[in-house]
A and B are shown apart, each in its own frame.
Chain A
Amino acid sequence: MLDILVGFVAELRQLGLPVSVSEEVDAAEAMAQLPLEDRQAIKSALGATLVKSANHWRAFDTAFEVYFSIRGAQFLLDGEATPLGEQDGRAEPAPDGQHPEGFGGTETATAEEIAAMVIRALRDGDQLLLSAIARLAVARYAAMEPGRPVGGTYYLYRTLRHLDLEGALARLVAEARARASGELDDEHPGGAVLRGRRPGQLTALEERLLEDEYNTRIEQLKTEIEAEIRRRLVADRGAEALARSLRRPLPEDVDFMHATREELVAMRKAVQPLTRKLATRLARKRRHLRRGALDFRSTMRHSLSYGGVPVEPRFKHPNQAKPEIWVIADVSGSVASFARFTLHLVHAISSQFSRVRSFVFIDGIDEVTGIFERSETVAEAIQKVNLEADVVWADGHSDYGHALTVFYERFGDEIGQKASILLLGDARNNYHAAQAWVIRELRHRARRVFWLNPEPRAYWGSGDSIVEQYTQHCDAAYECRNLRQLEAFVEHLS
């Protein structure tokens, strides 16, 4: 058991989770306290001792499923002796005793029969049937090839395509509708939503709730299928090999430029604490400078009570330095997904600081501070920015030179010593003039100027990237491809 734990922890570290030795010891102690056959308890014990951030739970979950996959007798792969590939076309034997009423032996189930089973399982929310279907469907449709070093996404896709769950959902809703209006007499009531309701048309609310219910069940089925595929892959190639091909970056390591939708959602959640951190860092800085210069007058006044000895020096109240943040972001196509993320960041920052001014540009530049202030939600703000901001000047291709010049002409005078300027972009300028003098001027006027570039440092200066011409005038330039790097930047800031 200890061997498995050590291997498992090594895998977590490979994934990038910070697991310390003392936590590993805790995990071992925790496991000793629990009955080993209680898989769920073991899982939560390991989770509680090894994973200290909700963002890492997903990675932990996958790794756990791989390393501690179920290998009980009732879960034996059909004919462990036969290689995986040969089962193709043949379904696995019926899971005995799980479904007494059965379907007359699932080995011979036709595609239609499987589809009917899917509908029935989804309608009744029958857990056992759902997992039986998952096993059957994977055996039938996934056509897994032994030894292929893949993570299983492909098999999942192949299985789901055959099951047509979208169609199943449509059929279920139609069926429920028909049943509700009394056209369909039924023995199986369509879930508890309809139980005990008077016959009549489904209201919109009921329909919505029903749909959500079915969607949850479909998600369950997908998870089951995924687990089944994983189980087979573990049996085929061993836990370590599979874990390697399943490795996915943690939310903080996902590249902004290539993030999927779900990854973006996860990142958005992670940004919130980060901006708070940024805010507290700046605020702390201010609080630490609690003392101003010596107040001579007050010191003398107080010394009178000590017979003229200035025992207690008095200080002036310092001027509250309110940080002013100027964010200038490239929103052109080449950095589109980064830009979307940037706007999230800007929104988060502007909710933390009172004095944030934000600008977006492509080849023209426009101030969007007001849009962010007026908008209730990030989504609304981003939509408005996309619709209202006037960022196209000539042809809608990035022109940093022109955008910066216009910015300097219009707003340059307002930048003072309190301002910190953040420039976000890849500086791919389509071979326009750089006008790097603008940055130099800004540097003179502002307190600090930072450049955040979503491209890997190795690409800086290649092709039409002229980032180096700009960054030579900045206080610092950071590669900012993922949350970890963004966090490093925030750490640096103070």
Chain B
Amino acid sequence: MSGTAADGVARFSSLQAVREGLGSVGYLADDGLSSVVYLADRLAKPVLVEGPAGTGKTELAKATAGFLGSRLIRLQCYEGLDEAKALYEWNYKKQLLRIQVERRAEDAGGARAPGWESLEEDIFSEEFLLTRPLLEAIRATEPVVLLVDEVDRLEIETEALLLEVLSDYQVSIPELGTIRAKQIPLVFLTSNNTRELSEALKRRCLFLHLDYPSLERERAIVLAKVPGVSNELAEQVARVVRSLRTLDLKKHPSISETIDWARTLVLLGIESVDLETARATLNILLKYRSDIEVAAKELAVASGY
């Protein structure tokens, strides 16, 4: 296959470099995650990141762009997104203006009007092209990171839009021909798994499932993200959150909610979590009334050994 690091300069020198790089911008990666990012660069393949909400899927792309110092180009997906919003669009108004000017000049008895062909060539040139995120990522001359966020919100038909860009890193524009990437962008796609993505898309990507972090990693994240938090508090926060995640809730607390909770506790000047403070601040971790009730009850109940 053609798409190896030979096409461009490899972004990462080693697995270790990826982990340290992500760490340097405050994103704590585990082994699996960093090897997938490393491979994405080496194999020139997009990464499809899937997992529950708030586990740092979007953040991963931002952090990668951050430590590489690359521009981050973001395409937010939603139902009804189309070519004109994702790939490119002709600047219709400007084209119209161009034709008007032509006619005006003709009427004024100026230069002989150019033929239709040259006019067509003119108005379908790059000058009249409005680039949208996907095309922009392809045309960029410097290395960029492309983030296609919440790709599962696209309808299954629109998904096909991405395929050409993701597998061959090129965009075909009928009037202009095929635009090939000058550099291979590092692509991240995120999905909340609200629907099954098409086989064609999945086959082209490296798959990365981001789950809730282990206790140690979550504690480290809290320590890194929350200024002024003590070791003990971070440990307790991580433990309470882990216990909550074992309960049968509608929505389990995400990493971002853990961080918010830790921040709140620090602001309130609380040094150690007890049942009362936990109960009083549960609404930061859990967003459903019924979940809060279940959690408040459950946390106080040890199974009675």
Q: Is residue A49 contacting chain B, with contact meaning CB distance below 8 A? A: yes
Which of A34, A173, A209 has the most CB atoms of chain B within a 10 A radius of its CB?
A209
**Pair B207/A48 contact, Cβ less than 8 Å:** yes
> Which residues of the other chain, A, contact B215 by a CB distance below 8 angstroms?
216
Top 8 A-B pairs ranked by shortest CB distance? Answer: A44-B32, A207-B302, A52-B202, A48-B206, A173-B305, A170-B305, A376-B290, A41-B35
Query: Beyond A33-B39, A52-B202, A203-B274, is A44–B248 a contact (Cβ under 8 Å)?
Result: no
A window 273-293: CB within 8 A of B? 273, 276-277, 280, 284
Report if B43 contacts A (CB, 8 A): yes
| Contact A197–B240 (Cβ < 8 Å) | no
**Cβ of A208 and Cβ of B15 under 8 Å apart?**
no
Instruction: Say whether B235 faces chain A, with CB atoms less than 8 Å apart.
Output: yes
Q: Does A54 contact B (CB under 8 A)?
A: yes
Q: Closest residue of chain A to B79, judged by CB?
A: A280
Indicate whether B242 reaches chain A with its CB closer than 8 angstroms: yes
Q: Is A310 an interface residue (CB 8 A)?
A: no
Residues in A neighbouring B242, C-beta threshold 8 A: 212, 216
Tell me if B243 and A48 are in contact (CB < 8 A).
no
- A195-B232 contact in complex given A52-B202, A208-B299, A276-B195, C-beta closer than 8 Å: yes
What are 15 A-B residue pairs whose CB atoms fall within 8 Å in the complex? Answer: A23-B203, A33-B42, A38-B15, A38-B35, A40-B32, A48-B207, A52-B207, A203-B274, A204-B299, A205-B300, A208-B301, A209-B236, A376-B289, A377-B290, A379-B248
Q: Which of A24-32, A225-233, A243-251, A322-330 contacts B (4 or more CB under 8 A)?
A: A24-32
B85 / chain A contacts, CB cutoff of 8 Å = none
In the assembly, what is the distance between CA of A45 and CA of B208, in Å? Answer: 10
Are A49 and B206 interface neighbours, CB within 8 A?
yes
B163 → A minimal CB distance (Å):
13
A242 to B39: give the CA distance in the assembly, Å.
31
B residues 12-43 in Cβ contact with A at 8 Å: 15, 31-33, 35-36, 38-39, 42-43
Tell me if A18 and B232 are in contact (CB < 8 A): no
Complex CA–CA separation, A41 to B1 (angstroms): 22
A389-426 vs B, CB cutoff 8 Å, 1 = contact: the mask equals 00000000000000000000000000000000000000
Judge whether A44 and B202 touch: CB under 8 Å: no
CA distance A273 to B206 in the complex (A): 21
Contact A44:B45 (CB < 8 A) given known A22-B203, A205-B300, A273-B196? no
* Residue on B nearest A169 in the bound complex, by CB: B305
A-B contacts besides A203-B275, A204-B275, 17 pairs, CB < 8 Å:
A33-B38, A33-B43, A44-B31, A44-B32, A45-B36, A47-B32, A49-B39, A49-B207, A174-B305, A204-B300, A211-B303, A211-B305, A216-B215, A280-B155, A376-B250, A377-B290, A379-B248
- Cα A34 to Cα B206 with chains together (Å): 15
**B303: which A residues are within 8 A, CB to CB?**
211
A39-74 vs B, CB cutoff 8 Å, 1 = contact: the mask equals 011011101110111100100000000000000000
Q: Report the minimal beta-carbon distance from A445 to chain B, rounded to whole angstroms.
A: 32
Q: Does B118 contact A (CB under 8 A)?
A: no
CA distance A44 to B15 in the complex (A): 12
**Closest beta carbon of chain A to B275's beta carbon, Å:** 4
Q: Kindly state the separation between the CA atoms of A209 and B300 in the bound complex, as whole angstroms.
A: 10
For residue B50, CB closer than 8 A to chain A, the reply is yes
A153 at interface by CB-CB < 8 Å: no
**How far, in whole Å, are A276 and B38 apart by their CA atoms in the complex?**
34
B89-116, CB under 8 A of A: which get 1 and which 0? 0000000000000000000000000000
Q: Are B50 and A54 neighbours in the complex by a CB distance under 8 Å?
A: yes
Q: Kindly report which residue of chain A lies nearest to residue B206, judged by CB atoms.
A: A48
What are the residues of chain B within 8 A of A280 when measuring CB–CB? 155, 195
Q: Given the complex of chains A and B, what is the CA–CA distance between A268 and B232 in angstroms?
A: 37
Inter-chain CA distance A207–B243, complex, in Å, is 11
Interface size grouping (class) on chain A: 35 or more
- What is the size, in residues, of chain B's interface with A at 8 Å between Cβ atoms? 56
The listed residue with most A CB atoms (<10 A of its CB), out of B1, B45, B196, B278, is B196
Q: Check if A45 sits within 8 Å of B35, measured CB to CB.
A: yes
Say yes or no for B239: interface residue by CB 8 A criterion: yes
Which one of A48, A197, A213, A273 contacts B239 once the chains associate, using CB atoms below 8 Å?
A213
Assess whether A196 is interfacial by the CB under 8 Å rule: yes
Tell me, yes or no, whether B178 is within 8 Å of chain A by CB. no
Q: Which residues of A contact B180 (CB under 8 A)?
A: none
Q: B residues within 8 A CB of A44?
A: 31-33, 35-36
Q: Which of A41, A170, A203 has the most CB of B within 10 A?
A: A41
- A6 interface residue, CB < 8 Å from B? no
Residues A273 and B194 in contact in the complex (CB < 8 Å), given A18-B199, A49-B206, A209-B240: yes
User: A209 contacts B239, CB within 8 Å?
Assistant: yes
* 0/1 string, A111-126, CB within 8 A of B gives 1: 0000000000000000
Contact of A41 among B15, B50, B207, B235 (CB under 8 A): B15
| CA A205 to CA B277, docked complex, whole Å | 11
Nearest-Cβ distance from residue A4 to partner chain B, whole angstroms? 19
Tell me, rounded to whole Å, the shortest Cβ–Cβ distance linking B61 to chain A: 16
Residues 206-240 of chain A, each 1 if its beta carbon lies under 8 Å from chain B, else 0: 01110111001000000000000000000000000
Asked whether A192 is an interface residue with its Cβ less than 8 Å from the other chain, the reply is: yes
A472 CB within 8 Å of chain B: no
Q: Are B273 and A34 in contact (CB under 8 A)?
A: no
**Most chain A CB atoms below 10 A, which of B209, B240, B273:** B209
How far, in whole Å, are A54 and B207 apart by their CA atoms in the complex? 9
Contact of B43 with A377 in the complex, beta carbons under 8 Å:
no
Among B274, B301, B302, B303, residue most surrounded by chain A Cβ atoms (within 10 Å): B302
Q: Which residues of B contact A211 (CB under 8 A)?
A: 302-303, 305
Interface of chain B residues 47 through 84 with chain A (CB within 8 A): 47-48, 50-51
Q: Does A201 contact B (CB under 8 A)?
A: no
Give complex CA distance A47, B209 in Å. 9
The CB with the most chain B CB atoms within 10 A, among A18, A53, A379, is that of A53
Interchain CB contact under 8 A, A208 and B290: no
A150 contacts across to B, CB distance below 8 A: none
User: In the complex, what residues of A have CB within 8 A of residue B42's CB?
Assistant: 30, 33
Q: Are B305 and A193 in contact, with the CB atoms below 8 A?
A: no
B277 to chain A, nearest CB (A): 10
| A20 at the binding interface (Cβ < 8 Å) | yes
Given A45-B39, A204-B302, A205-B275, the answer on whether A34 and B15 have CB atoms closer than 8 Å is: yes
Residues of B within 8 A of A45 (CB): 35-36, 39
- Whole-angstrom distance from the CB of A289 to the nearest CB of chain B? 16
Chain A CB count within 10 A is highest, among B36, B239, B278, B301, for B239
Beta-carbon nearest neighbor of A204 in chain B: B300
Cβ–Cβ < 8 Å partners of A40 in chain B: 31-32, 35
Choose one: A41, A205, A277; the contact of B274 (CB below 8 Å): A205
Chain B residues within an 8 Å CB radius of A41: 15, 31, 35
Complex Cα spacing A340 to B35, Å: 41
What's the minimum C-beta distance from A344 to chain B, rounded to whole angstroms? Answer: 13
